[in-house]
Amino acid sequence: MLKREIRIIAWDDAGFKKNSAEVLLVGAIFRGAEFMDGMLSAKIIKDGMDATEKISGAITKSRHYDQLSVIMTDGITFGGFNILDIKRLHESTGLPVIAIQRRQPDMKKFLSALYAFEDSAVRKQIVEKAGKFRKFKKIYYQAAGIENKQCENILALTCIRSDIPEPLRVAHLIASGLSGESRGRA
**pLDDT tens digits in sequence order for the chain, 186 residues long:** 788 899 999 999 998 888 889 999 999 999 989 899 999 999 999 999 999 999 999 999 999 999 999 999 999 999 999 999 999 999 999 999 999 999 998 989 998 999 999 999 999 999 999 999 999 999 999 999 999 999 999 999 999 999 999 999 999 999 999 876 566 555
CATH number assigned to the domain comprising residue 168: 3.30.2170.10
Q: Judging by DSSP bridges, how do beta strands 77-78 and 82-83 pair with one another?
A: antiparallel
In a domain, 184, yes or no: no
In a domain, 11, yes or no: yes
Domain enclosing residue 36, as ranges:
7-178
In a domain, 135, yes or no: yes
Q: What is the DSSP string of 70-97?
A: EEEEESSEETTTEE--HHHHHHHHSS-E
In a domain, 82, yes or no: yes
In a domain, 95, yes or no: yes
Question: Whole-model pTM above 0.75?
Answer: yes
In a domain, 183, yes or no: no
CA distance to 36, 89, 119, 121, per residue, from 73 (Å): 16, 11, 23, 23
In a domain, 104, yes or no: yes
Count of domains forming the chain: 1
In a domain, 186, yes or no: no
